[in-house]
Structure 1
């Protein structure tokens, strides 16, 4: 383990490092007298340059905001790296060998060399993909970008590229650059079959995933061709330089704005990040095929370090049930932020990319500005699950909502929401206080199962398969876990929008949604799902993965899988029809003829889809 760097070596770094060279990577400098340079301050907004540096003495100072320091402090502030990380980075850049106190050692040179080779491979791959975006074959990729409102300049700014359709285009390119297969195996850029390595990403729109310092450490690829049977989004697997729980897409573009504006906006996809930044929401980032977790929270806390001013984290989730579940999970982690947490949902459930495409940049900004406190969103969601017109419904709603209030650390804010909740439910505030007092004893909070932190204990009871709908859900999960390769791309799309009735099944479904973007090897598929669900449900995943299916031949198995998944989709359609029928019954055709016809048309389309599923069987 590395010890403290010797003081004289730190001084040597300060002496050798060229402050002007480092600062000019971030600030345009102009001569401001003998030995002095000035530019617009990177630490605050200004129109007249007040940021000055003097390379000879290795110091910078802003006369506008008062920020000052040496080359190490500057790089720390710009890259949000620790003191030791910054010194080691500068030492490597300027060829200084560091020594450590108490016999400690610095980074292992061999390991540093291996890491650098991986970074070099990713840099070359990044350039290769970007060049390929201009090829004739990549017209489908360019059309995809254009169709979503992105220009060539936008693609270049965010390093968007294209992976050619062949099996070894990138492989041959990196081999020609001197990389050995043993090295290439560790990059995550290739899969391995009986004939050796082959390109992992083929015929996809590619986004480079960078670390905090801007190094490309992984990629995300979007499916473009109908014959591509892989997941819609395919990310790099875990490698020595890429840990999905420790990276946020777009962080290299957003980090300075996050620190400056004290705001972090979390969106769901690569195009959403691009759309937000282009629209002026330049604090947006996205997770890479996984839920927003502890590793991401550490990044957020690092960027939103407490300086006495309010900070906020805004989550933008889809308006569907899965998005709402993700919001609840985010709320359960909110206590780890030294910031206020909010949720922003686009009109009609649209994501930021769709909002920008159909309504313009200002509409994206308006979505973020219209954010709702996350605690309020979660409380209202709890109440929607109960009939507040009945005594039993109010009692159940109170038990469901009380644990949410207990997680509010601010006493005055908790009191305010206690009164607010009492008003929404039409009960005395004392009843809410009593439910809060009883909630921790009734529902112990377990960090290993985030969804249970704010919901009643029975949520993860074993599903009752005597209910035909629940039994069908179980059978569908068995198929998905045991035979993911038998599902078509269209079936995956449908499955991702299904809402399961049994809470435990829905939690598994959420885990499958996340895992599907990551696991491509059938040998690791089930374990990947296990790691994405709350710990109490992991045994259930294993159980479903080994349950025998009622099929004796491959043909019979294909038919069984197909029919089970069709029934799952049909159940979803029936639920949607029931909701629309209820909406139709509450409408006055004379008062809203257009809306009435629209709902009727939606009903007819759902019925057409249902019949087509039955006909396919």
Structure 2
């Protein structure tokens, strides 16, 4: 039985699946130096980018949360796949036919793997799109026409139609080789007394991940005799579909989001279509749920929402009570973004799709251009409920609005919102500030730290404390770190110079261990011109801490304006060896001071000769750089 994936297939996937191309499907990357890129980490929430990618070495590393590895590790961790599934998925993307060893047992899987679920959705999306052209889908085509969408628009967004029969998709998937367990787990088919299509007689929108894989569907009711009265149905939670993380249209919007650092949040599938067709190609929508914190995390990665590169997030809401409630919820989550947040509301209460139908594409673009700050929209809505010509009306409005301003976590924003609130209501700024402070309350005093010594059992002696390992980023290790970084990213043979490097040249234990790994593979020269050099080092490193350091060094920018050459590398190697000579010279001098020339003249002279040889060697190193 076919089992383990052949090493040749794994290596081919690593070579052909460019790390930056794969990562860019989830994160907007910006150049951070020669051959390196940086973005917001997809594995944890952060305000400033600490996620580094080095495509030429095939490694990524987040210096915030510590995650790191190669392209296979990235796909495994982000999508929750096994090693086998990640290799197969990448192989599909880059056209590598993954081969397995013969005679080994296949890996045991619990339920269908992600690859099969994604493939089932791909087949279903193609099936629904074909069904939109059939006579039975005339009502669906009429609905699209009434909404202002022609056949080209349907093709662009992949819109389709689910037949009314009840088992059409089920039979189609079974004929394509999918099992009952796979189609049910995917959420495409339901199981009662028999299997039946989850969606029947509805207009279908494929919901895609940022990379383009279909992972779910949104379905719109078309027929009055549909037994499910809900106007819209969405795929239920599955192993690959989590509604709190899904944004419809992200696959089409992500590149323009990265370019403009702007995102537009609308309320429905047709609104996304209308915006994109009108030229607002950064529009996305949630799928059957309100916009939440997890949606914000997804957006931030694409708009490079960090403290240095501030963008814009624009919400479109109806002007009715529901829209105001949605705006209030978005305002409470405003702290999720460092970018400026805005609201675009059409005066007549039209959503982007209806606005496009009635007034054209230009009106949609103008709607977004006339946006107002989110906080201003929310606070003015509060103010509009009260008679501000009366003193008691102004006080009541201030009391309702103050807790909203107090909830803002960014103190500088809070101060600005307080001043504007005073202006909106016509009250004294100091009075508004006092009310906001009152709404915020006073933090409880923190308990004084306990100064009691830890209790040690007299029966079990306390284990001796090991001195903490020095941090590898300490300045005293800078030359060691930069030299090893070059050996990992730009390995080159430097003749006798690299031959003089010994483990003693590295004073940090992790750097010493990494050098021993490099030396074990033949030294830096063995990696010259080898695109898989960093991966080979990773495979040879047995200590997880060494692997972690290796991942960091493989992605850290090189402090050089151009691609480092052998002369550049030589400078660091020479500096490393000079520092080693300095330590050896200091040691010999110390021993000379303690030596007694009269009692042991031979030993004293031997030390003096060592000192002279070391000084001469150090001068020779300097001459190498000067040549």
| Range into which the TM-score falls when normalised by the shorter chain | 0.5 to 0.7
Query: Is the 8 Å Cα contact of residues 383 and 397 (structure 2) preserved in structure 1?
Result: yes
Query: Is the 8 Å Cα contact of residues 356 and 363 (structure 1) preserved in structure 2?
Result: yes
Query: Is the 8 Å Cα contact of residues 14 and 72 (structure 1) preserved in structure 2?
Result: no
Query: Residue 307 of structure 1: CA displacement?
Result: 7.2
Q: Does 1:313 align with 2:283?
A: no
- Which stretches in structure 2 are left out of the alignment for 5+ residues? 1-6, 38-52, 63-68, 77-82, 101-106, 445-627
Q: Does 1:304 align with 2:293?
A: no
Give the structure-2-normalised TM-score.
Answer: 0.56
Q: Which residues in structure 2 correspond to 1:74-473 (within 5 Å)? A: 84-86=73-75, 89=86, 92-93=90-91, 94=96, 110=109, 114-193=113-192, 195-229=193-227, 230-305=229-304, 306=306, 308-409=308-409, 411-441=411-441
Give a deviation string over 1:313-368, Cα, whole Å, max 9, x none. 11111222111101100110110112111111123111111111111111111111
**Which segment drifts farther, 214-223 or 419-428?**
419-428
Give a deviation string over 1:376-401, Cα, whole Å, max 9, x none. 11111111222323333222111111
| Partners of 2:239 and 2:220 in 1: CA distance | 23
Give a deviation string over 1:178-211, Cα, whole Å, max 9, x none. 2222222212122333x31211211111000111
Give a deviation string over 1:432-487, Cα, whole Å, max 9, x none. 0110110022999xxxxxxxxxxxxxxxxxxxxxxxxxxxxxxxxxxxxxxxxxxx
Counterparts in 2 of 1:410 and 1:175: CA distance versus 1, 3 Å: closer
Counterparts in 2 of 1:13 and 1:343: CA distance versus 1, 3 Å: farther
Counterparts in 2 of 1:181 and 1:355: CA distance versus 1, 3 Å: same
| Partners of 1:443 and 1:383 in 2: CA distance | 28
- Which stretches in structure 1 are left out of the alignment for 5+ residues? 1-7, 27-41, 45-50, 52-58, 62-66, 99-107, 445-617
Query: Residue 308 of structure 1: CA displacement?
Result: 2.2
Query: Is the 8 Å Cα contact of residues 22 and 71 (structure 1) preserved in structure 2?
Result: no
Give a deviation string over 1:242-269, Cα, whole Å, max 9, x none. 1111110111111111111101111110
Greater relative contact order: 1 or 2 (C-alpha under 8 angstroms, separation 6 or more)?
2
Higher helix content, 1 or 2: 1
Query: Is the 8 Å Cα contact of residues 19 and 58 (structure 2) preserved in structure 1?
Result: no
Query: Is the 8 Å Cα contact of residues 199 and 219 (structure 2) preserved in structure 1?
Result: yes
Counterparts in 2 of 1:15 and 1:208: CA distance versus 1, 3 Å: closer
How many aligned residue pairs are there? 389
Query: Residue 408 of structure 1: CA displacement?
Result: 4.1
Query: Residue 171 of structure 1: CA displacement?
Result: 1.1
Give the structure-1-normalised TM-score.
Answer: 0.57
| Partners of 1:10 and 1:421 in 2: CA distance | 63
Of structures 1 and 2, the larger Rg is shown by 2
> SS at 1:143's partner residue?
helix
Query: Is the 8 Å Cα contact of residues 335 and 410 (structure 2) preserved in structure 1?
Result: no
Query: Residue 113 of structure 1: CA displacement?
Result: 5.4
| Partners of 1:263 and 1:111 in 2: CA distance | 40
Counterparts in 2 of 1:130 and 1:14: CA distance versus 1, 3 Å: closer
Counterparts in 2 of 1:343 and 1:111: CA distance versus 1, 3 Å: farther
Counterparts in 2 of 1:200 and 1:390: CA distance versus 1, 3 Å: same
Counterparts in 2 of 1:349 and 1:138: CA distance versus 1, 3 Å: same
Query: Is the 8 Å Cα contact of residues 206 and 222 (structure 1) preserved in structure 2?
Result: yes
| Partners of 2:378 and 2:185 in 1: CA distance | 42
Query: Is the 8 Å Cα contact of residues 267 and 316 (structure 1) preserved in structure 2?
Result: yes
Query: Residue 20 of structure 1: CA displacement?
Result: 13
| Partners of 2:20 and 2:327 in 1: CA distance | 44
Query: Residue 16 of structure 1: CA displacement?
Result: 2.8
Counterparts in 2 of 1:10 and 1:365: CA distance versus 1, 3 Å: farther
RMSD over equivalenced CA pairs, Å? 3.7
